[in-house]
Amino acid sequence: MVKRILVGAHYGFRDWLAQRITAVVMALYTVLFAVAAASVAGSGFEGWRALFASGFMRFATFVFFVALAWHAWIGVRDIFMDYIKPTGLRLALHVLVILVLVGYLGWAALILGRL
């Protein structure tokens, strides 16, 4: 009888679950944004500015961007781990993607802070 020893089991489940949770967060925000956009339609720049003047909408938008960055990180990291075999190249790509995603989150925070 052969006994299998599973090392590192359940790591994939955590990533799978995180992607599903971030997808649900983004879907809920999309519905919220669609309803909000329909309510502001035709009111021009001031209507959009008033929509994002509320702390709730700015917070919800930032949560959306955090979920988007996390979702993208998990997906890109898994693709790199599966298809990029040289360790140095994979590490460089991981660092590059992390820097870009953190930069995008900082940029989103700056934009939302100015509204």
Prediction pTM value: 0.84
**Which three-class secondary structure string do you get for 56-88?**
HHHHHHHHHHHHHHHHHHHHHHHHHHHHCCCHH
- Spell out the domains of the chain, with CATH numbers in brackets: 11-114 (1.20.1300.10)
pLDDT score for 8: 58
Alpha helices (runs of H) in the chain, residue ranges in sequence order: 11-40, 44-53, 55-83, 87-114
pLDDT tens for each residue of 5-18: 655 556 788 999 99
The mean of the pLDDT values for the chain is: 91
**Cβ distance 33 to 87 under 8 Å?**
no
Mean pLDDT along residues 75-81: 94
Query: For 5-9, 49-53, 102-106, which range has the lowest pLDDT when averaged over its residues?
Result: 5-9
Other Cβ atoms closer than 10 A to 68 = 19
